[in-house]
Amino acid sequence: MQRRKSKVNVKAKRCGFTLVEVLVVVVIIAILGGLGSGIYVGTYKRILVEKAARDFVLAAKYARIMAIERQRQYKIELDTANGGFYLAFEELNVETQQTEQAIVRDLYSKPVEFVGDVKFEDMQITPIGLEEADEQTAIVFLPNGTAQSAVIQIGDGKNHYTVSICAATGKARVHRGTAEEAEIGTVDLDKE
């Protein structure tokens, strides 16, 4: 009867994991977790840049609609120092009889501040009229549906999105990549 007990005890000792096996599994899980978090951080940064570019396109579309609907100029002011932008228009102050800039804050538009390392990397805005400006920091949308031609690259040094605004139609599009990579050409108005 004792022989059977010893065989049972031997079998019980064989079931289980050694300390080395447990440590190997813990190390493998830690390595896989580290790799996954690196991928997550890269994806998160790309999403921040993409969101900033899409917000800019939506602001441009809204500026075009408001300019046509209200029959006044609207513009997107670029805050290059802090990283962000806002939609604005000029209105007359009744008390001072001076025109002042009013920032649009409504259900569809509010000032946008970039998050993280996102910033304006490249800005090419065609000035209105013949005078050349040192640095254009606003894109004007006119009541007839046209706008200043602009190519704005938004990025964080690694991820890049480019927003292009067509002068003839005032329409905005977003492209993944740098301003040089974006396919920006002329528009055939008879075709659209």
pLDDT, tens only, 147-185:
999 999 999 999 999 999 998 899 999 999 988 876 655
So what's the pLDDT on residue 160?
94
* For the chain, domain boundaries: 15-176
Q: How far is CA 192 from the centre of its chain?
A: 27
Tell me what the pLDDT averaged over the chain comes to: 84
pLDDT of residue 19: 86
Calpha distance 122→160 (Å, rounded): 10
Decide which of 70 and 189 is more confident: 70
What kind of fold does domain 15-176 have according to CATH?
minor pseudopilin epsh fold (3.55.40)
Provide the whole-model pTM: 0.75
120: left (phi over 0), alpha (psi -120 to 50) or beta: beta
